[in-house]
Every structure is written in C-alpha cells, then in structure tokens.
A and B are shown apart, each in its own frame.
Chain A
Amino acid sequence: MIGFILADLRRLWLGGIVVVLLVALATALGVAVTLQERSLRLGSARAADKFDLVIGAAGSETQLILSSIFLQAAPLPLVDGAVLTKLAADPRVAWAAPVGFGDSFAGYPIVGTTMSLVSNTTSGFAEGRMFALEGEAILGAAVDLSLGAEIKPMHGTAETGGHTHTEIAYKVVGKLQPTGTPWDRAILVPIQAVWHVHGLGHDHGHDEGHEDGHAGAHDEEHHHGDGHDHAHEGEEHHEDGDTHAEGEADHAEAAIQLVVSQRQKHALALGPATSAHVESDHQGGIDADAPIVETFGEGTPGLPAILVKPKTIADAYRLRQEYRTGNTLGVFPGEVLTGLYATLGDAKMVLSAVAAGSQGLVAAALVLVTVIHVGQRRRQIGALRAFGAPRGSVFAIVWLELFLLVVLGVGIGFLVGLGAAHIGAQLFTAKSGVILPVGFTREDLRLALFLLGFAAVLSAIPALLAYRQSPAAALRA
C-alpha cells in the first residue's frame, strides 16, 4: 500500500509539493509567532533575573527598567546620591551598586558601575581581570574589542550627535563571560570614572564630603570640578540634552565657583598620589591610575539608577515600599516586565489569530483540492475496488496520501518556524544583547498534536468520499 501511495505521490509530485508548501508556510507562521513571543518573554525575564530591585528617581517605571537592565539610551531623572549612601549602609541590603550611563564607544554603551556589581552579576572573566584603576575598563562578552584596546568614550551616541571625550581613554583589562543579557554588549568602567569624565564627584568616596553637581541638594558643599575644561564640558552636555542634562547647569556653575576649593580637596583626597596625577585630572577628567574607591559617602553625585540586591524577599518588598515615596522609585524588574508582557501578549493574540486564520484558509483550500482530486480519480478508485481492493484499503490510501503530505508540511513548518524564530532572535540579540532562548516546549507538542489530529480529520473527508463510491458507478463515470 505504501508503495502504491509513493508511486502515486511521485506521479503527482508537483501538486504534492504545493500542498506541503502551503501547509508548511501556514504552520511556520503560527510556530514562529509562538516561539518568538515566548523567547522574547523568557529572554527579557532572564536578562532581568540578576537585578532584584532597581531604584531610580521618580518617573517612568518602564523607562527605568529599559535603561538600567536593557541599557536602552534615554534621559533618566537622577536620584540623589545620598540614596546610594543610605542603601549601602542598610543592613537589609546585600549589595547596592550605582549605574551610570550616557557614554558610548563604537556603538557599545559605556556603563559606569562597581566591582561588587560586576562580581555579583557575572560568572567571571573569559580573559583578563577586573578593573582596578579608574582608567581601566572591562568588556561584556559580546563586545568586539580585545584586551589592551583604548576606549575613547563618546558622549551620547554617534546617531544622536554626541561628541567624543577625546582627552580620555580607558584601557581594556578584562572580558567577561557571556551572561545572555544586554550587559554583554556593554563596556563596564568604574562609576567614579564616569563621574569624573563628566566632572562630578571628584572627591570620590572621602568622608570629608564632596559636592554633587547633579543633585543640587549640596550646593553649599560644592568644592568640586576640575577646572575650566570641565565647566566647559558641562555646558556642552547641557546642549546635548543627554541623560545628565538636568544636573549639568548646576554643575557648570558649581565647577566655576569652586575651582580653588576643589583643587585643595583633590590634592587632599588623593593623598599619596603625585602632583602629576592632579595635573592629568585637570587636563583629562579622569585619573587613569587612581585607585577605585567604592565606599559612597555623602557627596556621591546623582545617579540614574541603583541596582539593589536585598538579603531576603521580605527585605526586597520592604525596601521597594520605602523607596517608592517622594523623589525615589523602587521597582521590581520582573513586575514591570509582566506589565510589558501583557501588552506583548495582546500583540501575540492578534498575530496568532492571523496565523490561525491562514491555517484555516489552507485547510479549506486543501479540502477543496482533495475533494476535486478524488472526483477526478473516481475511475481509478473504482477500478481498485473492482479488482478486489477492499474498501478499507481504498479509504486508507486516500487518507494516508493526504495525511502524509500534511504531516510533512507540518514537520517542515515547525522547522521553518524554528529557523525563522532563531534568525529573529539572533537579529534581536545582535541589536540588544538579550539572548532569546528559542525552543520547543510541551505546549508546542500540543500544537503539533492538534494540527496532526486536525489533519487526520481533514484527510478523512476525501477518504470517506472514496470509501462510499460504488465501484460500478465510479467505473461508469
């Protein structure tokens, strides 16, 4: 029987291919929609996995998550640096790390952060080591640069008309292992370097207190800035309308006013550092050889976001509650993403409906084609019966022939859908760094079984027609 079906399909190969293609495309559409949506959901959830609680200034929750976890460049209001100081001292907090954005290099975002964040959120180094000096940088796994490379940060991005901090260069000292998050595409530098590049918080981490050009709350204490260069830069930033815009004007004024006092403080702050260091600071904005200080005192500058690892779940809820008042915003990334998924889910439903509609159309077309086909083969079917083929065999032949084609189509459709979802995921990963886990689950098995069951019923229609034909009548036709 199989031999007969195969001979028949060989004879009707063109029609068979068309049927398989139709089924494959309709299946692939539905499969790709399902896989893509799921992988987007899982991938973004995984990207947010390491970040339990994000605290930023009052504003959009979604934007805070998109900027801090997905590193999407956008101006964020700044949260007072004192919040970080307070969080760092909070017994409920395992670690709290500032993140500073705004600069980029060769299309990769430069993120200022701390050693504790790097060691707590990544699985270690693929090569090299952690940054130890202010002028050192480490790369996410997906950054296409090598150890020892020089990175000249560009303010903003090339597309948004940013300018390059030509006077500054970070040296790459390490490359992280992949994490599957957008941070794989980031260049990580010490947060204090970011501050210094932008002329903020130059007296890093010293208890004598230093100003905060962004927050504006410590105006009296402004003894910051590193000379005219940075005052000038501050103004440029302002024109750029970048993430720091809100605080820049303050900072510029403060910098001019407090040059003298800053110089004194700076020398004091660096302690054993040579005067050459002080000089280079004045010219370049960062002191490449300065040690990194990660105790954040009172004068910590304003921050776009603080990533917090609470010690327990209860602590997480309490902290979020505490920092949801007034000028700060505490959010669970997972919660914000859930809200986004609801929107994504609506879009998926529309797409799924379109896919289901196309599958229905294909099914209807198949029934039409096969019913006509069976009509054309009446004589052949009648002859089979006349020569002694039992009715069951005739039913099985017609049924199997169509069912095989549909099964083949569904199989190819699943592969094509998987391939399409993979390609989509790769494009997405290249753009965002978020690794989208594309794969089949039990849910897809159910879809496949449903499609096959549907195909089995569908194929039975022409088979039943053939079954019911009287051989004599069929031969007369």
Chain B
Amino acid sequence: MLSLKIDDLAVSFPGLSAPVLVLDGLEIAAGSRVALTGGSGSGKSTLINIIAGLERVQAGRVVWGEENIADLPEGRRDRWRAANIGLVMQEFHLFPGLSALDNILLPARLSRAANADLMKRAESLFATVGLKRPGQHVETMSRGEMQRVAIARALLRSPGVIIADEPTASLDLESGEAVGDLLLSVAASTGSTLIVASHDQHLIGRLDRRLTLSGGRIVADTERKEIAA
C-alpha cells in the first residue's frame, strides 16, 4: 500500500569505475504489481537491496510513501524495513532447529514486536499459505513448503510492500507456480505493493508492469496490457 518514488539514484561500489545502478526517476504506484527482469550484472539485485533498505543510499532519494529511506540511519532503516517490507528470497533463509511457526515469528520476536495478535496472525497465515503442521521443523520440509513458510514470515507484520527476489528460481515448476499464485493472491488480498525480481516468464507474465534492467539502467518499462497486445 506504499508508493515508491526514486529520484537521481546512483549506486557505485568501491573499485568499480562505473556506477552499478543509475536511476534518474522511477515511480511505482501503491498496490501495483511490478516485475523486475534483467540478466546478472544488470543491477537488479542492487535495486532490490536499495528499495528494501538493505543497502545505504549514497546519492539520490528513495521515498516509500512519505519516508525517504535515504535519510534514515542504519538502525532506523532496520526498524522501518521490519515494519514495512515483507521480504521473500530465492534461498529461503529459514532457521533450522526451529519449527515452521517459530520461523514465521522469529524476526518479530527478535524485534520484540511479537504479541498475542501477531501469534494469532502467524497461525492464520500458516493456514493461508496452505500448510498444516505448525510444529514441524523446517529442515524436514520440502522446498515448496519452505518457501510458503518464508512467504508467511514476510506477511506477518502486514507489510505495505512485498519484495520477492527470485522466489521461484529454486523450486520445481509445480511448486513455483503455486508460490507465484500465493504471492499474487496475498498481495491482492492485503493490497500490498508487490515487486518481484524474476527470470520466471510465467510469473512475470502475471504481473501488471515489467521493468527491464541492463547495465544498471532501466531499458524497458512495459505495462501488461502492452505485453498482451
């Protein structure tokens, strides 16, 4: 439910002469569903890191809703991310030794944000993503199930934005499809802004807008109607 506005963004890494990402201006409307595509080295991961607040913004403005996260120091950026961004990654980054439910609740607990409501929400999310045994340890789950747990974790604090980085890349076709369905349906039901970086053409095709990056710049910005047309 947050809109994104990026101005004059430039990201460069020490040792590299050319910036890895340059965006003069980018706007993503609240509640829209956007695909990010591009080969490796296109700046796609960097853009994900910047908009998720994982990377410090060196130059430019990155404004989510009213908040320019470029201005936030690291600690506040962490807090902002925890409250506003639901992150789903290619590697699920679940923590072995903990049950599925505990994994869903872990970030909230570490932020001391867990309360009775969140616990209840975790249980209902567990059902929403189509899982049955909350006490099951994650290391005994299939990869498809693990990604479902990861999605439930991302949704726990009702984030305004869901950012998924290659959510289906490490899954088989069937599980990938199910995970794609799930992402679209939860984003639709909460009205969250959904940004998905992916190579999965099937998944990309189901999103409203497609941004193609190459060499650190956006080289194509197409709406689905245009794609369909």
Residue numbers of A with Cβ under 8 A of B are 1, 3-4, 7-8, 10-11, 379-380, 383-391, 393-394, 397, 470-472, 475-476
Contact A389 B93 (CB under 8 A): no
Contact B55 A470 (CB under 8 A): yes
Q: Which of A4, A11, A387, A397 sits near B87, CB closer than 8 Å?
A: A387
In Å, the complex CA distance between A471 and B95 comes to 16
Given A379-B93, A380-B93, A470-B55: A388 in contact with B102 (beta carbons within 8 A) = no
In Å, the complex CA distance between A11 and B138 comes to 13
Nearest CB of B to A470, in Å: 7
Contacts of A386 in B (CB 8 A): 52, 54, 81, 87, 89, 93
The SS class assigned to the A binding surface is: helix
Nearest CB of B to A44, in Å: 53
In Å, the complex CA distance between A472 and B51 comes to 12
Contact A11 B96 (CB under 8 A): yes
Given A387-B153, A390-B79: A472 in contact with B110 (beta carbons within 8 A) = no
Contacts of A388 in B (CB 8 A): 78-79, 81-83, 85, 107-108, 110-111, 157
Contact A383 B108 (CB under 8 A): no
Instruction: Convert B132-157 into 0s and 1s, putting 1 for each residue whose CB lies closer than 8 angstroms to a CB of A.
Output: 00000000000000000000011001
Nearest CB of A to B29, in Å: 25
Nearest CB of B to A69, in Å: 61
Given A386-B52, A387-B153, A390-B111: A7 in contact with B93 (beta carbons within 8 A) = no
Contacts of B157 in A (CB 8 A): 388
Answer whether residue B39 sits at the interface, using C-beta atoms and an 8 A cutoff.
Answer: no
Top-9 shortest CB links A-B: A388-B82, A7-B97, A383-B93, A389-B110, A387-B107, A472-B54, A393-B110, A388-B107, A472-B49
Given A1-B109, A383-B93, A475-B54: A390 in contact with B78 (beta carbons within 8 A) = yes
Nearest CB of A to B129, in Å: 16
| Count of chain B residues with a beta carbon within 8 Å of a chain A beta carbon | 32
Answer whether residue B75 sits at the interface, using C-beta atoms and an 8 A cutoff.
Answer: yes
In Å, the complex CA distance between A397 and B110 comes to 9
Most chain A CB inside 10 Å of its own CB: which residue of B55, B83, B97: B97
Answer whether residue B106 sits at the interface, using C-beta atoms and an 8 A cutoff.
Answer: yes
14 more CB-based (< 8 A) A-B contacts, given A3-B109, A4-B98, A10-B97: A4-B95, A4-B109, A7-B97, A385-B78, A388-B82, A388-B83, A388-B111, A390-B75, A390-B79, A390-B82, A471-B54, A472-B49, A472-B55, A476-B45
Q: Which of B82, B102, B153 sits near A3, CB closer than 8 Å?
A: B102
In Å, the complex CA distance between A4 and B114 comes to 14
Answer whether residue B74 sits at the interface, using C-beta atoms and an 8 A cutoff.
Answer: yes
Nearest CB of B to A383, in Å: 4
Nearest CB of B to A381, in Å: 10
Q: A396's closest neighbor in chain B, by CB?
A: B110
In Å, the complex CA distance between A471 and B108 comes to 17
Nearest CB of A to B57, in Å: 12
- Chosen A-B contacts, 30 in total, with CB atoms closer than 8 Å, are A3-B102, A3-B109, A4-B95, A4-B98, A4-B106, A4-B109, A7-B95, A7-B97, A7-B102, A379-B91, A383-B93, A384-B110, A387-B82, A387-B93, A387-B107, A387-B153, A387-B154, A388-B78, A388-B110, A388-B111, A388-B157, A389-B78, A389-B111, A390-B78, A390-B79, A470-B55, A470-B56, A471-B54, A472-B49, A475-B89
Instruction: Convert B96-122 into 0s and 1s, putting 1 for each residue whose CB lies closer than 8 angstroms to a CB of A.
Output: 111000100011111100000000000
Nearest CB of A to B121, in Å: 15
Contact A1 B54 (CB under 8 A): no
In Å, the complex CA distance between A391 and B56 comes to 15
Contact A11 B97 (CB under 8 A): yes
Most chain B CB inside 10 Å of its own CB: which residue of A1, A11, A386, A388: A388
In Å, the complex CA distance between A285 and B220 comes to 123
Contacts of B74 in A (CB 8 A): 391
Q: Which of A8, A11, A391, A470 sits near B75, CB closer than 8 Å?
A: A391
In Å, the complex CA distance between A389 and B109 comes to 8
Q: Which of B55, B78, B91, B93 sits near A391, CB closer than 8 Å?
A: B78
Contacts of A391 in B (CB 8 A): 74-75, 78
In Å, the complex CA distance between A394 and B106 comes to 12
Contacts of B95 in A (CB 8 A): 4, 7-8, 380
Contacts of A4 in B (CB 8 A): 95, 98, 106, 109-110
Instruction: Convert B50-75 into 0s and 1s, putting 1 for each residue whose CB lies closer than 8 angstroms to a CB of A.
Output: 00101110000000000000000011
In Å, the complex CA distance between A393 and B108 comes to 11
Q: B154's closest neighbor in chain A, by CB?
A: A387
Contact A8 B55 (CB under 8 A): no
Contacts of A10 in B (CB 8 A): 97
Nearest CB of A to B118, in Å: 12
Most chain A CB inside 10 Å of its own CB: which residue of B45, B49, B78, B87: B78
In Å, the complex CA distance between A388 and B83 comes to 8
Contacts of B106 in A (CB 8 A): 4, 384, 387, 389
In Å, the complex CA distance between A8 and B97 comes to 7
Q: B88's closest neighbor in chain A, by CB?
A: A387
Nearest CB of A to B98, in Å: 5
Contacts of B56 in A (CB 8 A): 470
Q: A8's closest neighbor in chain B, by CB?
A: B97
In Å, the complex CA distance between A126 and B176 comes to 86
Q: A12's closest neighbor in chain B, by CB?
A: B97
In Å, the complex CA distance between A472 and B13 comes to 13
Most chain A CB inside 10 Å of its own CB: which residue of B75, B85, B96, B110: B110
Contacts of A476 in B (CB 8 A): 45
In Å, the complex CA distance between A393 and B82 comes to 13
Contacts of A379 in B (CB 8 A): 91, 93
Contacts of A7 in B (CB 8 A): 95-98, 102
Nearest CB of B to A161, in Å: 69
